[in-house]
Amino acid sequence: MTTFVLATANTHKVTEMTAVLAELGIEVLPRPEDLAEVDETQDTLVGNALLKARAVMGASGHASVADDTGLFVDALNGEPGVFSARYSGEGATDEKNVAKLLTALEMSGSENRSAAFRTVIAVVYPDGREIVVEGVLPGRIAEIPVGDNGFGYDPIFIPDLGESRTLAQMSLAEKNEHSHRARALRALAATLR
Ligand code: IMP
């Protein structure tokens, strides 16, 4: 049986990934506890996902899988992008990141509110093989935060799904069906098959 070690310790992501990989007959092991957090030093999602997967493969000796996600806003030249988690700087919180993004968009003077969530998933094998896939959820930035579900930029992201709700107004099941991460996981499943 193939075994993958997960680079993430985020319980939500662990559940999502374990379910998809189990369908492919892949057993999942948790991130080695003694492995220090890998600093995301690269300036691309692909770079950071590979960095994390390589570190976990090196520490565990097993094929490893890592992901990196960002929100790319067109009128802000792709910001916050790879820096989405730390957009509002030291001590960043979801609320501060959302507030900074809405202000930046207003200051840009642009009417264009189009944006996309992008998730890159990397798999690194002990024999040196590397797989990189991406999932994209296009949408637009809402005028004000709406909804209480989810996390991160969910309250200001209206996905292009033919309606006007933000991701934070959707149930977890709905979000998981359409999300950038789900799309990346489906791309991974298709590649591994
Ligand atoms: P990560 O690479 O999955 O840790 O994501 C980086 C940052 O992107 C997070 O800290 C969030 O701010 C944002 N983000 C990632 N996924 C989502 C999502 O599904 N909804 C809203 N924000 C997200």
What is the whole-number distance in angstroms between the Cα of residue 176 and the centre of ligand 1?
13
* pLDDT at residue 1 greater than cutoff 80: no
pTM for the full predicted model: 0.94
Whose CA is closest to atom 9 on ligand 1? 85
CB 35 within 8 A of CB 29: no
Identify the bridge partners of residue 171 per DSSP, sorted by sequence position: none
> Quick one: pLDDT band at residue 167, thresholds 50, 70, 90?
very high
User: How does strand 2-6 pair with strand 80-81?
Assistant: unpaired
Q: Give per-residue pLDDT as tens, 23-65.
A: 888 999 999 888 888 889 999 999 999 999 999 999 999 999 9
Neighbour count for residue 153 (Cβ, 10 Å): 25
Residue 23 and residue 182: Cα distance in Å, rounded? 14
Residue 30 and residue 172: Cα distance in Å, rounded? 23
Q: Which atom of ligand 1 is nearest to the CA of 179?
A: 19
The pLDDT of residue 17? 85
Specify the DSSP class assigned to residue 139: E
Is 79 near ligand 1, meaning CB less than 6 Å away?
Answer: no
Q: What percent of the chain has pLDDT over 90?
A: 81
End-to-end CA distance of the chain: 14
Identify the bridge partners of residue 140 per DSSP, sorted by sequence position: 114, 158
Is 166 near ligand 1, meaning CB less than 6 Å away?
Answer: no
The pLDDT of residue 143? 97
The pLDDT of residue 67? 95
The pLDDT of residue 92? 96
Q: Give per-residue pLDDT as tens, 75-85.
A: 999 999 999 99
CA dihedral 180, 184, 189, 192 (to 10 degrees): 180
Cα 65 to its chain centre, rounded Å, is 13
68 is a catalytic site residue: yes
Whose CA is closest to atom 7 on ligand 1? 85
Whose CA is closest to atom 15 on ligand 1? 69
Nearest to 190 by CA among 141, 144, 126, 121: 121
The count of domains in the chain is: 1
Mean pLDDT, rounded, of the chain? 94
CATH number at residue 153: 3.90.950.10
Nearest to 59 by CA among 14, 7, 15: 7
Q: Which of 68, 94, 148, 154 is catalytic?
A: 68
CB 64 within 8 A of CB 89: no
Specify the DSSP class assigned to residue 1: -
Average pLDDT over residues 82-104: 97
Q: Which atom of ligand 1 is nearest to the CA of 48?
A: 2
How many CA atoms, within 13 angstroms, populate the side-chain half-sphere of residue 92?
17
Note down the domain range covering 65. Answer: 2-192
The pLDDT of residue 185? 92
Q: Give per-residue pLDDT as tens, 121-150.
A: 999 999 999 999 999 999 999 999 999 999
